[in-house]
Every structure is written in C-alpha cells, then in structure tokens.
Amino acid sequence: MLFPREKLLELEATRLAPYAQKARDTRGRQHPEPESPYRTPYQKDRDRILHTTAFRRLEYKTQVFPNWAGDYYRTRLTHTLEVAQVSRSIARALGLNEDLTEAIALSHDLGHPPFGHTGERILNALMQDHGGFEHNAQALRLLTHLEERYPGFKGLNLTYEVLEGIATHEAAYAPGFKPDYPGQGTLEAQVVDLSDAIAYAAHDLDDGLRSGLLRPEELAEVPLLRALAQEEGLELSRLTELGRRVLIRQLLGYLIAEATEATHRRVEGRRVRSAEEVRRHPERLAALSPEAERAHRELQAFLRERLYQHPEVLRERRKAEMVLEGLFATYVGHPEILPKEVQGRIPEEGLERAVCDYLAGMTDRFALEAYRRLFP
C-alpha cells in the first residue's frame, strides 16, 4: 500500500488534535513550487534543513564545552538532536504535528555563531551600529537568504509555519520576520521552545558532571535533584557513572512528563480548539507546571553559578572574545583578504553585515585557525 502526500495529509487531519497545525492548512511558501508526491510540506522542509551547510557546521560549534574539550560533550549539533527528540516526545503525546515540530527543532539553532552564546553576545556588540546580531534572526536570514541551493530563489523556500517557529523561539517575533498578525506561534513552536530549555538544563548538568567542573555532592543543593536521587536510591556524595546516567534520565523524564501534562491542562482549561486560537491566545500555552517551573529555575540558577561562571568556562569565553573581536576588526579594516564570495556580498549587504555573516557561519575550530593565520 502506498501513502502519497494526499493520503498523508488526510491521515494528519483525522489523527491530530484539533489545536495542531495541519500541513494541509499551511500558508505555503514564498515562491510557488511543486510539492513532493510522498512527503507533506513539513516533511520536505525538515529534509531541506538536514541537508544545509549550516546544519552540518553545528557539529563543531560550542554548546558549553568546545568541541576539542572531548569527544563526549554536547556540541550544538547533538544538542539540536536532543531538542528534536524531546520535542517529538511531547508533540506525539499532545497530538501535535511531529513533522512540523521536528523541522522547527532541527533549525532552531542554525543561526548560532561559533563559541555559543558568548559568540552571539560579542557579535551583537560589534554590530550595534549596524543592526545588531541575534541568533534567531540569523537563522531566518540563513534559511531565506544565505543558503543558496536552488536556481529559482535564495534560501530554502520553507513554509510559513516553519519560519514562524524559528522566529518565535525565545521571543515574540525575531527581527526580520513579518507575521500575518501578532501572536504566540503554533503550539508545535512553543513545544520546541520549552523542549530547548528542558534539554539544555539536563544535558549541561550531565556535561558539567562528566567534566569534573561540577562535583556530585554539590547537587544536593538543588531540591529537585536531591528528591530524584532519593527516589532512585542514589547517594550524591558517591555518585557513580551509572548513577549519573540514571539521575539525568530521571530528570529528563520528570520535566518531559510535567511539560506534557501541564500543557494539556492549559489547552483544555482554556478550551483552545484550533491552531489559530493557539496563535491568538494572549499567553503561551506550552509550559511546565508551577512546581516544575520553580524546580527548573532553581536548577538553572545552580548551573549559572557553578558551571557557566566556572573559571575554566570563563577562560574559553575570553578566548572567544579575543578571536571574534580580532577577526571582525581585521576583516572590516582589510576586506580584500576576505574570500571572494564574501567580498561579492559587500555591495548588497554592506561591509559589516557581510563580515558578520561570514563570522557567524564559522565553526569554533575554523575561527581559531583563521585567527592563528592572522595573529601567529
């Protein structure tokens, strides 16, 4: 039995929750083009994102620890895959469109520059007089302008809903995106945003423990971790490698379950019955329960104090500042040493924006090598 696109769209319409975004109701693409005979529009978008240069570069972009720190720490790519897994778990339980959810999740960090959030902060400061820099807006710029893979248009020509999902990540709407009307975005997009916070809290904790920058006995200061350890019979002062894995798994399971159940209660309690009602709702519907949200905030505060401000992590941040500031100043002062394709974008984009795009696309190791060549 074959399942062509028409059949897949029909199955979606009957199987998904009323508040899910159905692919048959897409607002479409900026440039009309034939759809795939055996994929829905959101499946096609997901596949296009997977094949971008920007997606492959995530493997060598920092999450917390740089790629060269070890083979087992999260990179921006593995973090993205974990966000996609968490998002799909919640989306399936809520009857949402998993293909749309996955497409948004896989693209949500494409605009991140090298060196994680430190790189984003530095580029924003360097670009203050030239429009600033924000990773969601940069992801939109990549997918609508910088990635050139088709002869008829720039970008990937993704559906409105995928672009909307990127634009509403961590914000009402990212600069550069003009929504049909103000709103909160689809529930699929909201779930990705929530899943991002869940995934990085759990996995940054895991990497912090693996690295030795966090000591297991410190975890007792976080009420949620202390409670989960007690439930599993784990002694935090003598946490084994297996115990660490059990603890992280239980933490993820708890947060995913709380997010799923709390979001369902909010949707049902507010009698939301369509994707349009989700968008127009005055507040976001995807959320943790108040108890889980409080516990999540306590965990995030612990990570900020003990991991993100650790001297070893701050040392890498200072290295990132030196590299990006040095490269930006040199390329702006001497654009003739830029690659020809970057020089070719200067008349249209402006010198600073062309340089910023070039730096934002770099991986950590490429940026370091470029800096070494300029400043041996």
Residue 284 CB: number of other CB atoms within 10 A? 17
What is the amino acid identity at position 148? E
Measured in whole angstroms, how far is the alpha carbon of residue 69 from the centre of its chain? 22
CA angle 196, 82, 210 (to 5 degrees): 100
Q: What are the structural domains, with CATH classification, of the chain?
A: 5-313 (1.10.3210.10)
Give the DSSP letter string of 191-254. Answer: HHHHHHHHHHHHHHHHHHHHHTSS-GGGGGGSHHHHHHHHHHT--GGG--HHHHHHHHHHHHHH
CA torsion sign for 132, 372, 74, 302 is negative
Q: Over the stretch 223-277, which tens digit does the pLDDT of each residue have?
A: 999 999 999 999 998 899 999 999 999 999 999 999 999 999 999 999 999 999 9
CA distance 299 to 279: 30
Give the bridge partners for 150, in sequence order. Answer: 153
Q: Over the stretch 303-361, which tens digit does the pLDDT of each residue have?
A: 999 999 999 888 888 999 999 999 999 999 999 999 999 999 999 999 999 999 999 99
Give the bridge partners for 148, in sequence order. Answer: 155
Query: pTM of the predicted model, to two decimals?
Result: 0.94
Q: Over the stretch 103-121, which tens digit does the pLDDT of each residue have?
A: 999 999 999 999 989 999 9
